[in-house]
Structure 1
Amino acid sequence: MPESKVRKKAAYTASSGSAVKKPNARWFLPAMLTVLLIGLAWVVTFYVSQGAWPVEAWGNWNILAGFGILVAGLIMATRWR
């Protein structure tokens, strides 16, 4: 039975249209950590103060506000290089 021809693979080259991702600015990491810590502090303060702080009029919506801030920090974390 005849053997098939062996194909030579071309060397891989990145396409010329691919964008090179730049590293983040120097302020990005401290800003991301600050946002994460503010969100954590918001939720912890709400629980420790039994709902009296940070905004008493918001009631349990303080939990949503704290987690919203935390999610903003997590979204920033996905963009960190």
Structure 2
Amino acid sequence: MPKSRLRKKSDYTPPVSATAVKISSGRSWVAPAMLALFLIGLLWIVTFYVTGGTWPVHAWGNWNILAGFGFIAAGFGLSTQWK
């Protein structure tokens, strides 16, 4: 049986465009806001422990810890929007 003829394929070179297209998601605020929430939560908890519970909100008592973790949780929730 005769062997079929093989075709030579040239290497693929992508077309070069004159202008580069930059794809932006429009969410440049997410990373700074996420880090800010992390830091606010951390500072809230540290301030509560260092001041012996008198700061940031004395009337809340140990609920200040939950408030600090709430900021941190909001930062993690915001991290799902980061691209």
TM-score (norm 1): 0.67
- Which structure has the larger Rg? 2
Equivalent of residue 47 in structure 1, options 46, 49, 67: 49
Q: CA RMSD in A?
A: 1.4
Structure 2 unaligned residues grouped into runs of 5+:
1-23
State the aligned residue count.
60
Structure 1 unaligned residues grouped into runs of 5+:
1-21
Whether 1:62 aligns to 2:64 is yes
Distance in 2 (CA, whole Å) between partners of 1:64 and 1:33 is: 18
Question: Identity of aligned pairs, percent?
Answer: 58
Distance in 1 (CA, whole Å) between partners of 2:44 and 2:56 is: 7
TM-score (norm 2): 0.66
